Structure 1
């Protein structure tokens, strides 16, 4: 066998081996991590990290303000969780396999307090992420094969987290409720000298009038 042909054969075998061991086995390009807070209970996310089943870490998959509704007439209701939460504010976790763990460190601006939580994703949730379901989308009146490819995390005062698995035109699945713990060093591990940015005007107005509804989440 000629040398060029031998090199070509080695290259093809290496490529095939790589395909056989490819970690990407999802029926879609990527899954999404989104985060939100109850009405008026404003949250600043320092980091939201994901670890997949191959123990690869995807750091700062999300940071910044979580999704939130703050009606200016302060008549919104922050108590409890919505039956159908939105996708939240977040990003696609590109290149990740199925999730094993989500780590979130955040500042609850209305308290203020800094929390962290380690959220274990159950195997049943991962299996649900691989399952296509035929469903009817009312928005465009079409039947589709949908996948639950969105993990949504709710962050509430007191360090409470709640997680759902969601997909286009599919009912959300309740994944977990996890109690976070206080980060004693404060914002950014003590690097912010204890400074918390103030909540937005509507959040401040709600808290001044009604307080924080602890125990409702």
Structure 2
């Protein structure tokens, strides 16, 4: 520890002489990305509400980041059973997003979540292949209907869909760009159940009335995801 402190003091002194910023030797350097940060988004099928206890990321440098995202996902609960939860949308949105500030491109994403529709607690590991990391930093010229202009844009969001039965699906998404499927992943029941530290060992939220009405009327289409 004394050696590290002496080394850091020397770096500070040298930086003062050169006018250059100093990188803390105890922290990794910021990732070299063509944008400020990439994102993780969370979504769920209509009525199949979830509570995400934690999202953990292992980046391509081998550095782990814990509980970088969580809470509710993006979901729709149309009244009078007018929504169809079966399957995944052909063009999923980015979901409920959170920026992965200071985190390099992902190698693995781990999600622990409560499927409130059942209820059950699951965990899943999502492996991110190299082609996904390459696509995350590949620019595309895309037309945006919002302003009628072409822009240089990136698919910089890893969107994770979470469904009953422990099913997860992941896409690369970005504004004005078509999503690309990363893969379908099958999680496992977490043997400890709901996280004692975060939800006192209970399921976090009751189902919305519209979600409860749909499940009471139609059940859960487990085989559709």
Same fold (TM over 0.5): yes
Question: How far apart, in 2, do the equivalents of 1:22 and 1:206 lie?
Answer: 49
Q: 2:58 aligns with which of 45, 51, 64?
A: 51
Query: How is 1:6-155 mapped onto 2 (pairs within 5 angstroms)?
Result: 8=14, 12=18, 15=21, 22-155=29-162
* Pair 183,175 (structure 1): closer, same or farther in 2 beyond 3 Å: same
Per-residue displacement from partner, 1:155-190 (whole Å, max 9, x unpaired)?
A: 000000000001111111101111000012210159
- Does the CA-based 8 Å contact 1:39-1:78 persist in structure 2? yes
Moved more, 115-124 or 57-66: 57-66
Superposition RMSD in Å: 2.2
SS in 2 for 1:187: coil
Moved more, 59-68 or 125-134: 59-68
Per-residue displacement from partner, 1:79-117 (whole Å, max 9, x unpaired)?
A: 000011111112101011111111100000111100000
Moved more, 141-150 or 7-16: 7-16
The aligned residue for residue 204 of structure 1 is 212
| CA shift for structure 1 position 195 | 4.5
* Pair 144,198 (structure 1): closer, same or farther in 2 beyond 3 Å: same
| CA shift for structure 1 position 16 | 8.5
Question: How far apart, in 2, do the equivalents of 1:9 and 1:92 lie?
Answer: 30
* Pair 116,9 (structure 1): closer, same or farther in 2 beyond 3 Å: closer
Q: 1:176 aligns with which of 173, 178, 183?
A: 183
* Pair 134,42 (structure 1): closer, same or farther in 2 beyond 3 Å: same
TM-score (normalised: structure 1): 0.89
The unaligned stretches of length 5 or more in structure 1 are 1-6
How many equivalent residue pairs? Answer: 209
| CA shift for structure 1 position 192 | 3.5
Moved over 3 A (4+): 7-18, 189-197
TM-score (normalised: structure 2): 0.86
- Does the CA-based 8 Å contact 1:48-1:60 persist in structure 2? yes
Per-residue displacement from partner, 1:20-78 (whole Å, max 9, x unpaired)?
A: x9442110000111101100000011011122111222222211111110012211010
SS in 2 for 1:73: helix
* Pair 55,11 (structure 1): closer, same or farther in 2 beyond 3 Å: farther
The aligned residue for residue 168 of structure 2 is 161
- Does the CA-based 8 Å contact 1:33-1:61 persist in structure 2? no
- Does the CA-based 8 Å contact 2:109-2:128 persist in structure 1? yes
| CA shift for structure 1 position 9 | 7.1
Question: How far apart, in 2, do the equivalents of 1:128 and 1:198 lie?
Answer: 38
* Pair 207,134 (structure 1): closer, same or farther in 2 beyond 3 Å: same
